Structure 1
Amino acid sequence: MPAIETDGLTKRYGDLRALSSLSLSVEQGSLFGLLGPNGSGKTTTIGLLTGQHQPDAGSVRVLGIDPVASPLDVREAVGILPEREDPPSFLTPREYLRFVGDVRDRDDIDDRIGEWAQRLEFTAALDTTAAALSEGQRQRVMLAQAFVHDPDLVFIDEPLVNLDPILQERVKEELRAYREAGNTVFLSTHFVDVAADLCDRVGILDGGHLQSTRDTTALDTDDLREYFVETVEKSAGSTARGSRGSATGADDSSQAGATDT
């Protein structure tokens, strides 16, 4: 059963077409990576899938829920780690994570807070206001809030930002374990090595278009980097020839260039 399904999902900001006719299926229990350059539409995609933005066209289902019709239901059911977002500065990590659990009616939230603080090594900072935490500590708290309520699906935008190399490996282990338990991870990144190391499947997004999806289990980092560069260069050449709609809103009612290899 797909955890995520989209059909023709499109989003514009004025004349800018940030996402064009995205049709995608992500199976439950997979670790899917949306890989693309900065500005390719990755963060917009996560916003649409989690009900934070409204699409201009197309349909979407997340865990069987329509985030357009029921955005709060989707956000209660999933975990979300936005890129470059901090916990509220006036709350301690414990207070913030309790709030995350309370809005989802988790009666075991204190136990889960302790578990995730230990996993991500910020137990000593649990009762320190977020304003006094280091950048790395704040990122650990934000990682914890995506998982602390035990969702079946998490959306993660650049999960390793501001983490030291040792904790990066710890986070990778947690993501793999979460997937191996039957849950689903939708990961957005522009780092090829992160996608190669973690994901069993990737979609390459460029200029708001899904250019390709590919199984990555048999690819190493160099293989995926070569494939990514070739795909993006092909996308750029296709745009220059005018064979597909540009990110500035040219008419394009189909998802051009998407392949599944």
Structure 2
Amino acid sequence: MAAIETTELSRRFGEVTALSGLSLSVDEGALFGLLGPNGSGKTTTIELLTGQRRPTGGSATVVGHDPVAEPMAVKRAIGILPEREDPPSFLTPREYLTFVGEVRSLDDVAGRIGTWADRLEFSGVLDALATGLSEGERQRVMLAGAFLHDPALVFIDEPLVNLDPIMQEQVKSVLADYCGRGNTLFLSTHYVDVAAELCTHVGIVEDGELVAECDPREMSEDELLSYFIAEVGGDAAEVRA
């Protein structure tokens, strides 16, 4: 069964076409990566699928709901981590995550916070103001917020941004474990090595169009890199993390 289906999904901003006729299907339990250079339409796709923007054409279903007709149903069912999203500067991680839990009417919010703080290794800063956290610590707090309610589907824009190499490995393990339990992840990235290592399926976008799809498990990272550059062009140095 598909967790996400889109048919000719499009979005224009005035005379600019940010997304053009996107048709794709993401199976339940997949770790799907939308791979493309900056400005190719990846963030717009996530915004449309999560009900943050309305399409100018086409349609989509996300966990069985239409993001246009049922935006709140979609938002209740999913987790979202936009690129470079930070917790409010005037709150501590504990306060922010407690707020997330209360908004979502979760049980055992304190226990959930403790579990994710341990898993993502930010227990030591749970009661520090967000203004005093490093970029990596803020990223981990936001990751915890996206997963706090155990959603069946999570969208993450550039999952490893601001994380040091050790924490990147930890987060990769968390994401793989999450999908291993039957959940679905939709990642966007412009880094080929991230897509090659993490994803079970990859869609490549360029100038708002889906130009190719592939299974990265069937090719080496260098083969995926060559395939990506053949589809969209560019410099290899710009698409490696």
Q: How many residues align?
A: 234
Q: 1:138 and 1:76 mapped to 2: Cα distance?
A: 23
Which amino acid in 2 is paired with 1:201?
H
The equivalent of 2:96 in structure 1 is: 96
Equivalent residue runs for 1:128-207 within 5 Å: 128-207=128-207
Q: 1:219 and 1:188 mapped to 2: Cα distance?
A: 20
**Alpha-carbon offset, residue 182 of structure 1:** 0.2
Identity %: 64
The equivalent of 2:238 in structure 1 is: none
Q: 2:89 and 2:72 mapped to 1: Cα distance?
A: 24
The root-mean-square deviation of aligned C-alpha atoms, in Å, is 1.1
Q: TM-score, normalised on structure 2?
A: 0.95
Deviations 1:93-115 (A, max 9, x none): 11111111222221122111101
The equivalent of 2:39 in structure 1 is: 39
Per mean C-alpha deviation after superposition, the further-off stretch among 103-112 and 154-163 is 103-112
Q: TM-score, normalised on structure 1?
A: 0.88
SS at match of 2:186: strand
Q: 2:233 and 2:117 mapped to 1: Cα distance?
A: 42
Hey, which bits of structure 1, 4+ residues long, moved more than 2 A?
Answer: none
Deviations 1:47-92 (A, max 9, x none): 0000000100111100001110121221121010100110011111
**Alpha-carbon offset, residue 144 of structure 1:** 0.8
SS at match of 1:167: helix
SS at match of 2:218: coil
* Higher CA-based Rg: 1
Gaps of at least 5 residues in structure 2 are 235-241
SS at match of 1:217: helix
Q: 1:24 and 1:154 mapped to 2: Cα distance?
A: 17
Q: 1:109 and 1:66 mapped to 2: Cα distance?
A: 29
Q: 2:28 and 2:109 mapped to 1: Cα distance?
A: 25
**Alpha-carbon offset, residue 233 of structure 1:** 3.6
Q: 2:169 and 2:179 mapped to 1: Cα distance?
A: 16
Which amino acid in 2 is paired with 1:191?
Y
Gaps of at least 5 residues in structure 1 are 235-261
Equivalent residue runs for 1:92-131 within 5 Å: 92-131=92-131
SS at match of 1:91: coil
Say yes or no: does 1:211 pair with 2:206: no
